Amino acid sequence: MENPIERKIFGFKLPHKTVWTKRAKADLRIGLLFLSPWLIGFFAFTLYPMVVSFYYSFTEYHSKRAPDWIGMENYVNLITGMIGMFQYFAQAYVVGGGDSLGRPLNSTLFYSVYLYQNAFLFLKMGYASAMAWILFIIILILTLLLLKVSDRFTYYAG
């Protein structure tokens, strides 16, 4: 018969409370000490920039003044403006020869070049952050879709 006081989460039995010995605590401290450079780098160079860029994507931010909250306006402008932008890639690359991105008159302007121009030439960091997040989501969806269907066209011997 099952003990009614037994600790369970989602039907799984939880382990009993662990008693930490001095040796286990010392091993934990040493492990965290070795892990700390990676944690500092992760928070400083990955997590913080992602969180800040996500916030900037909902603002109008021009690097020289405080960001103004505009909500979803960057995303709405981006989605309505990029419907035709993904339709041509190879044609513009071949015509431009690869070294004249965006020229002549922005007729061969690629998405990543447009993102770069908005961020660093026009200093529209909020809009560029929104563009980067949309690009990240599109790549993530396509990658997950590819991983999901890859077993259909990949043969593993054995």
- Tens place of pLDDT for every residue, the chain, 158 residues? 555 555 666 666 766 677 789 998 999 999 999 999 999 999 999 999 999 999 998 999 887 889 999 888 887 777 666 655 555 555 655 665 655 566 677 766 777 777 777 888 789 999 999 998 998 898 888 778 877 877 766 667 76
Q: Is 33 within the bounds of a domain?
A: no
Number of domains in the chain: 1
Residue 127: is it exposed, middle or buried by C-beta count within 10 angstroms (0-12/13-18/19+)? Answer: buried
Q: Is 38 within the bounds of a domain?
A: no
Q: Is 45 within the bounds of a domain?
A: no
Q: Is 149 within the bounds of a domain?
A: yes
Measure CA of the first residue to CA of the last residue in the chain; give whole Å.
46
d(CA 135, CA 91): 21
Instruction: Say what the pLDDT of residue 3 is.
Output: 57
Q: Is 131 within the bounds of a domain?
A: yes
d(CA 55, CA 77): 17
Instruction: Say what the pLDDT of residue 76 is.
Output: 74
Q: Please answer whether residues 153 and 145 qualify as being in contact, where contact means their C-beta atoms are separated by less than 8 angstroms.
A: no
Question: Within 13 Å of residue 93, how many CA atoms lie on the same side as its CB?
Answer: 8
- Alpha helical stretches, state H, 5-124: 22-42, 48-56, 73-81, 90-96, 111-116
Least Cα distance to 118 among 155, 85, 71, 152 occurs for 85
Q: Which domain holds residue 62?
A: 57-153
